[in-house]
Amino acid sequence: MITQMKKYTFLVFHRDYEPFLEQLRDLGVVHITQKAAGLIEDDADLQAALQHEDELRRLLKQGAPDQLIQERANIEQSIADAKQAASQAAVWGEFDAKRIAELKEAGYTLHFYECPTKAFQEEWGIKVNELGGKTYFVALEVLEDLTEIPVPQKSEAAWLQEVELLKGLLAAANARIEAWQLANKERLEKELVEARQQIDWQKVNLSTDQLVEGALCLFEGFCPIDKEAELNAMLNDAQVYYEETDPQKEDATPIKLHNNWFVKLFEPLTGMYGWPNYNEFDPTPILGPFFLLFFALCIGDAGYGLLLLLIGYLIFKNKLKIEMFNGMGGIIMALGVGSTIVGFLMGGFFGLDLYQASWFPESLKSVMFKHLGGTDGKIGEYDVMMVLAIVIGVLHICLAMTIKAIAYTKRDGFRNTVSTWGWLLLIVGGICTAILAMAFSLPTEIVKYTMIGIGAISALGIFLFNKPGRNPLINVGAGLWDTYQMSTGLLGDVLSYIRLYALGLAGGMLGAAFNQLGAQVMGENPNVGTIIGFVLIVTFGHVLNLLMACLGAFVHPLRLSFVEYFKNSGYEGSGKMYKPFSK
């Protein structure tokens, strides 16, 4: 949820301006409203400060000045070149480059060639090596039909010796970089903090209006309602003139999210798309649980869920350090728990189909999704999981449309959102009527007239009252266009959720294939060798399958959230996070 804000307007005498800013920064609860980006970014002093900050960040990230980094890169490139040269020289065996030069001075120039072994002719020259279907030989004359290979500068052993020498130089370069970091890292971090504070101070100054020939300073800011009393107490003690009001629609009000520990895990996903505006709903409480469900359906395996839970726990406890997953132990654990539960309900466990296993207890099978489809796991002609994916998609989109209607009504009033409510009544009302009719065997006449009533009321909102005060003919035309977009868009949106079924099915089939391949290697009479082969194949196969499954289970649920859900919920995501002016 989004924390309620209060808008403050401050009017300060110029002599008290900087001391007052110091007080505000010490308190650290006010987000200062900045002027238009162009007015601030054009300031030369601010640009210089920003460039200095970027330089500090770059130095801290790369760990040393450009000169030391380039020196290390040059040595690493030299090592790579020397290794490649050693590989090329290996086919010529051991030789002395000086002897080749001496022969050339004596009038005997050696020419190095390679050709397919089948095409080699003894009269061409002396064969040195035969490798990979090619023959390497030396000739005393130029062979016009063949491309000459440059004369090797050194033998393989000489190149490898140079590699070892370069490795020593690389170790010395790394030592110089580490020494530089030890001597300068703490200083740079402190300097970066000071630079950031100076930039914030400059932005506040640039966002302050000078009134009465500079005698008065006027600026605005926002404070969370839970910090209101603390700020007001400081302002009253400072004897500064201020006005406190509720933010208006046109204000660039920052947002501060306030969610429980579970929803907070998924806030970074919302940030990937864009933070909500102050007048929008925070989508994270809906995005989080549905993303978890979608991810689990795509994994579709309780065994993989347990592995994710273990990996997340090790990352959370700093027992397993993977840079790209720093700070993500909590969400990985949550995804692991969800994948374990949903994977069990789907009947998957490291590629095994528990629902089809004769040894698995029937009492546990009865709670699995496939039990809804009887012995063949189908509802009608369709797989239970495919039907479930479609049902989840319909629920997700209906929820999005409901949130859109409520949010738009809150923002623009009911009079301007009649069309939105008309579509909500038509789609959600129609679906609910159909469900009730099937669940309670309602008489056909009741269902018929209910659907006619829903359709008539919805049509009025969609075609006649979609924009009050406009020409009715234009409203009808706009309603027809809206109908075309909704009818084609909603069908595609719902069908998009089949990917949840497809990814879970593909992962289960691939896991089963690795199990079958491992069983074939082990055979009916296993021994130590075949058991080791089985373990290697199954381990490699399931690790590969888990990595692929996690990639798909992250990307596709994110797409369903960002495209299908956000589009139908009217979410804009153009808000700015609350960043108080503070030390």
Q: Could you give the CA distance from residue 335 to residue 344 in angstroms, rounded to a whole number?
A: 14
Let me know if 283 is exposed, middle or buried by CB neighbors in 10 A (0-12, 13-18, 19+).
buried
Q: Could you give the CA distance from residue 213 to residue 434 in angstroms, rounded to a whole number?
A: 71
Q: Could you give the CA distance from residue 417 to residue 462 in angstroms, rounded to a whole number?
A: 10
Q: Could you give the CA distance from residue 247 to residue 222 in angstroms, rounded to a whole number?
A: 8
The secondary structure of residue 92, as a DSSP letter, is G
Predicted confidence at residue 37, as pLDDT, reads 55
Predicted confidence at residue 220, as pLDDT, reads 92
Count the Cβ atoms, other than its own, within 10 Å of residue 311: 19
∠424-426-430 over CA atoms, to 5°?
115
Determine contact, residues 294/339, Cβ cutoff 8 Å.
no
Q: Could you give the CA distance from residue 238 to residue 364 in angstroms, rounded to a whole number?
A: 68
Please report, for the chain, how many H helices and E strands are present, in that order: 21, 12
Of the candidates 151, 173, 197, which is a domain's last residue?
Answer: 151
Residues 310 and 377 in one domain: yes
Of the candidates 151, 167, 183, which is a domain's last residue?
Answer: 151
Is the four-CA dihedral 350, 352, 353, 354 of positive or negative sign?
negative
Determine contact, residues 68/76, Cβ cutoff 8 Å.
no
Residues 335 and 265 in one domain: yes
Count the Cβ atoms, other than its own, within 10 Å of residue 282: 21
Determine contact, residues 369/354, Cβ cutoff 8 Å.
no
Residues 479 and 440 in one domain: yes
Whether 373 is in a domain gets the answer: yes
Whether 228 is in a domain gets the answer: no
Whether 1 is in a domain gets the answer: no
Residues 392 and 368 in one domain: no
Determine contact, residues 269/289, Cβ cutoff 8 Å.
no
Residues 281 and 267 in one domain: yes
Residues 423 and 328 in one domain: no
Which residue, chain included where needed, has tokens 């630079």?
195
Domain count, the chain: 3
Q: Could you give the CA distance from residue 407 to residue 409 in angstroms, rounded to a whole number?
A: 5
Whether 247 is in a domain gets the answer: no
Residues 490 and 563 in one domain: no
Residues 416 and 490 in one domain: yes
Of the candidates 151, 174, 196, which is a domain's last residue?
Answer: 151
Give the max Cα distance, the chain. Answer: 111
Question: What is the separation of C-alpha 255 from the centre of its chain, rounded to a whole number of angstroms?
Answer: 22
Whether 537 is in a domain gets the answer: no
> Could you give phi then psi for residue 119, rounded to 5 degrees?
-90, -10
- Rounded to the nearest 10°, the torsion over CA 511, 515, 518, 524 is -170
Residues 420 and 451 in one domain: yes
Q: Which domain holds residue 139?
A: 96-151
Whether 504 is in a domain gets the answer: no
Residues 380 and 399 in one domain: no
Whether 44 is in a domain gets the answer: no
Determine contact, residues 501/388, Cβ cutoff 8 Å.
yes
Whether 170 is in a domain gets the answer: no
Predicted confidence at residue 150, as pLDDT, reads 85
Residues 375 and 392 in one domain: no
Predicted confidence at residue 40, as pLDDT, reads 62
Predicted confidence at residue 38, as pLDDT, reads 53
> Could you give phi then psi for residue 582, rounded to 5 degrees?
-155, 170
Residues 364 and 393 in one domain: no
Closest CA to 201 of 579, 525, 582, 515: 582
Predicted confidence at residue 344, as pLDDT, reads 93
- The SS3 assignment for 73 reads helix
**Low-confidence residues in the chain, pLDDT < 70:** 36-41, 374-377
